Structure 1
Amino acid sequence: MKKILLSAAAIFLLSSVAACSQTESEGETGDVEERVAAVEVAKAVEGDLTLERSIFGRTAPNSTTPILLQSPGEVDSLEVENGEQVEEDDIIAKVSTPMGKQNIRAPKDGEVANLKAAEGDSVSNEEPFTLIADLATIKLNFTVTADVHKLIAVDKKMTVTIENEQYEATITSVSTMPDDTGLYPVEAKVDNEDRAILPGMVAKLSVPEQQIKDAIIVPTAAINEEDDESFVYVVKDNQAIKQAITVVETQSAETAIEGDIQIGDSVIVTGQLTLSDGVQVNVVKGE
């Protein structure tokens, strides 16, 4: 009899524990809130998308003027050093020659470059003593293919990027004859009054090629690809709505699209990688 009572008590106890566990589990599940994703958005706008080609070249001084000695001699004193700015007629050096002492002067304004001699050195008159470089204006040297050649013209102003800074460049020369590589040399110039541009830097010339007018423009960051389908997420009633689109043309920053997207729609540009259609979202930036 005692064994029967003990068994019954044990069964009752286990049933109570199981019931409590189920109740707690249900309570915990009920307390879990639906996931809300934090996102950033940008507006879909109507505008023109200009397609550009990027042409790479190098910077160079606008001009370099060599200074040649009239006769060989010995350097008595140097009045300047490499990189120093001089004005026309400034004394560069004093040199003793068989014809007497000579003052070597700057033939024009510019920067001293390629000065190799030191005081007491013997110097020749067969090679330049130094160069005076014009760096107030920088020359840009490019070579282009025939199809890009037709997009460029003398005096045309274009955007050039040097060391992540943008400048307005003016095309000064477009050769009609190709060089040994079969490409056409192109020269441009850009103002460099603050001397931020140095010779030898890489320059990227942006050449406008085509313009798509009155298109729906969204940030390229909003475009998603899956199973050969392009789509964006549009925020409606605090939900991410997946919307299929067709990409017309794309640039690094902006893309022209077609689809059921309205001007002014908020498209998600950050946070969309973990989204699915209908997920609740919280816009933290862009509205």
Structure 2
Amino acid sequence: MKKILLGMVAILLVSSLAACNEEEAKTKEEDRVTSVETIEAEKGDLTMEESVYGRIQPGSSTPIMVENPGELDSLEAKNGDNVDKDEKIATIQSPAGSQTIKAQESGKVANLNASEGEIVSNEEPLAVIIDTDTMKINFSVTADMQKLLEKEDKLNTEIDGEKYKAEVLSIDSMPDETGMYTVAAELEEEDLDILPGSVAEVHIPEKRVKDAIILPTEAIVETSDETFIYVIKKDKAVKMEVNIKETQSDKTAIEGKVEDGDQVVTTGQLTLSDGDQVNVVKESGE
């Protein structure tokens, strides 16, 4: 009889301890609050970009021509010099007499390859005056890209790791012999320290997703069998499955039950479970 009573006491004690542990675990789970950062979901368009490459050219170039061939008697400028309009560049001695060669426009001297004492021709420019205050980019695009471009479009451009904006000046309506269409654009910034001939990477908007929810790509969690986000509702994380329509490196267009204006978790989501209590430490726009 004593053994039976001891057994019953042991069972009750074990049951009581188990209940206490279960209650304690439940309390800790309810008390656990995860700190998160959020951003406001926005409805809009997602533009995809395709990179093409072009060459930097001066805004304009004016050839310096010699009227009559002759001997280059003196040079008053060299490559890289900035000259004003009508400034003296050189003197030529020819059978017709002495010629004074002047700059027809203000700008920088380039392609001056002759030296004093040499015979210069009137068939090729003695030099070129280039306008480097404004710089242009010439590049070629496919027929599909050509349809996406319009005059005055502002295109994101990268040159030697620096970012610029280029405004489209002209778009050829007829393809060249390779089937490509030539586009000319002008860099918006002035007084650029960029060498003519430098390579420019121009980003062409190629594909657009319209009227979708746009989120930072980092907010989306992908597993082997589902794709989801967490939306904050009454200080709790609500798990929502979504479908990806298009994605860029930093932004993704999705569809699902998430709505414009919802606060979506961008940091801390990897440790969350549906229904977890959260503390929003940083919201969009802060």
TM norm structure 2? 0.71
Q: Distance in 2 between matches of 1:276 and 1:138?
A: 52
Q: Distance in 2 between matches of 1:112 and 1:35?
A: 72
Question: Which deviates more, 250-259 or 32-41?
Answer: 32-41
- Is 1:162 equivalent to 2:158 in the alignment? yes
Q: What is the deviation of 1:220?
A: 2.4
TM norm structure 1? 0.71
Pick aligned residue for 1:277 from 267, 273, 278: 273
Q: What is the deviation of 1:161?
A: 1.5
- Is 1:218 equivalent to 2:215 in the alignment? yes
Q: Distance in 1 between matches of 2:34 and 2:80?
A: 56
> Taking structure 1 as reference, are residues 72 and 39 closer, same or farther at Cα in structure 2, changes over 3 Å only?
farther
Q: Distance in 1 between matches of 2:44 and 2:103?
A: 53
Q: Distance in 1 between matches of 2:79 and 2:279?
A: 59
- Is 1:230 equivalent to 2:220 in the alignment? no
Q: Distance in 2 between matches of 1:131 and 1:223?
A: 56
Q: Distance in 2 between matches of 1:36 and 1:97?
A: 92
- Is 1:201 equivalent to 2:164 in the alignment? no
- Structure 1 stretches of 4+ with a deviation exceeding 6 A read 32-35
Q: Distance in 1 between matches of 2:117 and 2:235?
A: 79
Q: What is the deviation of 1:107?
A: 1.6
- Decide whether the 8 Å contact of 1:44 with 1:216 is kept in 2: yes
Aligned residue for 1:147, secondary structure, equals helix
Q: Distance in 1 between matches of 2:147 and 2:238?
A: 44
- Decide whether the 8 Å contact of 2:72 with 2:118 is kept in 1: yes
- Gapped runs of 5+ residues in structure 1? 1-25
- Is 1:151 equivalent to 2:145 in the alignment? no
Q: Distance in 1 between matches of 2:73 and 2:281?
A: 69
Q: What is the deviation of 1:218?
A: 1.7
User: Any idea what the Cα deviations from partners look like across 1:253-286, whole Å, max 9, x if unmatched?
Assistant: 43222222133222222344x4231555543333
**Residue 113 of structure 1: aligned partner:** 110
> Taking structure 1 as reference, are residues 39 and 128 closer, same or farther at Cα in structure 2, changes over 3 Å only?
farther
Q: What is the deviation of 1:146?
A: 2.2
> Taking structure 1 as reference, are residues 269 and 96 closer, same or farther at Cα in structure 2, changes over 3 Å only?
farther
- Is 1:48 equivalent to 2:45 in the alignment? yes
- Is 1:186 equivalent to 2:186 in the alignment? no
**Residue 139 of structure 1: aligned partner:** 136
**Residue 15 of structure 1: aligned partner:** none
User: Any idea what the Cα deviations from partners look like across 1:57-112, whole Å, max 9, x if unmatched?
Assistant: 2222233222233323245343x343333232112234555655543211222222
Taking the TM superposition and a 5 Å limit, the aligned residue runs for 1:68-147 are 68-69=65-66, 70-78=68-76, 80-95=77-92, 101-117=98-114, 120=116, 122=118, 124-125=120-121, 127-147=124-144
Q: Distance in 2 between matches of 1:159 and 1:216?
A: 24
User: Any idea what the Cα deviations from partners look like across 1:228-276, whole Å, max 9, x if unmatched?
Assistant: 532222234545443211112334443222222133222222344x423
Q: Distance in 2 between matches of 1:38 and 1:72?
A: 82
Taking the TM superposition and a 5 Å limit, the aligned residue runs for 1:13-52 are 37-52=34-49
- Gapped runs of 5+ residues in structure 2? 1-20
Q: Distance in 2 between matches of 1:217 and 1:191?
A: 29
User: Any idea what the Cα deviations from partners look like across 1:103-134, whole Å, max 9, x if unmatched?
Assistant: 3211222222233456x453532643321112
- Decide whether the 8 Å contact of 1:234 with 1:242 is kept in 2: yes
**Residue 259 of structure 2: aligned partner:** 262
Q: Distance in 2 between matches of 1:259 and 1:248?
A: 10
Residue 104 of structure 1 aligns with an amino acid whose one-letter code is I
- Decide whether the 8 Å contact of 1:170 with 1:190 is kept in 2: no
Q: Distance in 1 between matches of 2:182 and 2:225?
A: 41
Q: Distance in 2 between matches of 1:124 and 1:283?
A: 76
